[in-house]
Amino acid sequence: MSASTPPSGRAAKAADYVARTRPVVPPIYQSATFYLDDIAYKDIQEGGGLTEHWYSRFANPTVDAAAAEIAELEGAEAAMMTSSGMAAIATTLLTLLQGDRRRVVAARQVYGDTRDLLVRDLPALGIAVTMVDAVDLDAWAAAIAEAPTAVVYAEALSNPQLDLTDLAAIAGLAHEAGAKLVVDSTFATPYTVNPLAVGADVVVHSATKFLSGHSDVIAGVVVSDRETTTEIQRRMITFGGCLDPHAAYLVWRGLQTFDVRLARASETALALARRLEQHPEVTAVRYPGLPGYAWRETAEKLMRPGRGGAMVAFTVRGGNPRALAVMRRLTIASEATSLGGVETLVSAPFNSSHFSLSEEELVANRIEPGMLRFSCGVEDAETLITDVERALDGTVEP
């Protein structure tokens, strides 16, 4: 506690608890508000209260601890936590689209709720939205050149088809047009790529996924330079999507094992992808670590060598009914939406994350019938792979 005047009464008691201990992990500051003193007043008046701990919607020490770790992972100047990944995305877009160029050019291959935000909510606010195929550079260039644009938006590695956007190339296009590149790097994670290092201006994550890593918390984060982060933080304060200190603690704790979890899951994902390629009942495998990956050159340019990440998508012969049958026979991987936890989760995008898309839209987004999405956990790889093979074999029509 930074007291210019010694605390008294209740304040003295609370300060004493903190002063007498030196915890190894950041305490959960489950406090909505903090005692004010002359130093706090001065900071609030000079800095808008964005850094001083005086009210937890603005800033909280446990929330700051999680943000600092993620800023480091992304090699960024600053980061700020939000109540969910969608809060991070919406708050970022609504901040950057407040100027006179109220237009965003976005990838078509995006998370389902991001898609709803882009096709329904932003246009309802008078913001122009153009969507393009994430892997078609000519389409990006044409769309960006069409009209003054404030934001270019893409997922580094798309959900669920694992298309890899050439972030370096579209950062160039965005900057030439005076726009900012915002990247959702939830699927790729800082284990495989740091979008800021290849030209992105803002990175957003659903920290619900790999960053926290235990499927036990909903959280989001925005990472950028200090000035941009502060601008977005001001809107987070007025829109209200702050992270709860207890949730922030869970994110912080998950982050302590981020590298080991990802190393293990990434290794498993590569082994799974390789074995699936050999399986007669699998017609396509999408994984950035495979030599046959469609965007291999981009992967070599953007991603760290030998790191394909923990997500694998593959297509089962026989379409969606067969894919569902395979999924239901699995005993190690569990059928659930979401990803990035220590347990392997599997989903069929057509009936979960992308259920709102028509058949034509699914095909246009390269989500072919029979596609399954795997988020590899930290289970024994051989046990997991054998289970998938058994499920595939067990559903072959005699």
Contact between 133 and 327 under an 8 Å Cβ cutoff? The reply is no
Print burial letters for 264-273: b (CB count within 10 Å at least 16), e (below 16).
bbbbbbbbbb
Binding piece for ligand PLP, criterion CB under 6 A, among 202-210, 245-253, 262-270, 341-349: 202-210
Give the one residue of 65, 132, 143, 218 binding ligand PLP; rule: CB under 6 A: 218
Tell me the three state secondary structure of residue 273: helix
Give the one residue of 84, 130, 224, 344 binding ligand PLP; rule: CB under 6 A: 84
- Residue 340 C-beta: closest distance to ligand PLP, Å: 8
- Residue 295 C-beta: closest distance to ligand PLP, Å: 17
Residue 370, both tokens:
């029979």
Residue 91 sits in the site that holds ligand PLP (CB under 6 A) = no
Write the single-letter amino acid at 42: K
Biggest CA-to-CA distance, the chain: 82
CB-nearer residue toward ligand PLP: 71 or 86: 86
Give the one residue of 49, 160, 190, 220 binding ligand PLP; rule: CB under 6 A: 220
CB-nearer residue toward ligand PLP: 86 or 326: 86
Residue 309 sits in the site that holds ligand PLP (CB under 6 A) = no
The pattern of x and - marking residues 147 through 186 that bind ligand PLP according to CB under 6 A reads --------x---x------------------------x-x
Print burial letters for 340-370: b (CB count within 10 Å at least 16), e (below 16).
bbeebbbbbbbeebbeebeeeebeebbbbbb
Give the one residue of 35, 58, 111, 191 binding ligand PLP; rule: CB under 6 A: 111
For the annotated catalytic residues, the residue numbers are 57, 111, 184, 209
CB-nearer residue toward ligand PLP: 157 or 285: 157
From edge to edge, which strands make up the β-sheet containing 311-316?
282-286, 311-316, 371-375, 345-347, 334-335
- Residue 184 C-beta: closest distance to ligand PLP, Å: 5
- CA-nearest of 117, 113, 192, 190 to 159 is 113
CB neighbours of residue 274 within 10 Å: 15
Q: How many residues bind ligand PLP (CB under 6 A)?
A: 15
Tell me the three state secondary structure of residue 298: helix
Residues that bind ligand PLP (CB under 6 A): 84-86, 111, 114, 155, 159, 184, 186-187, 206, 208-209, 218, 220
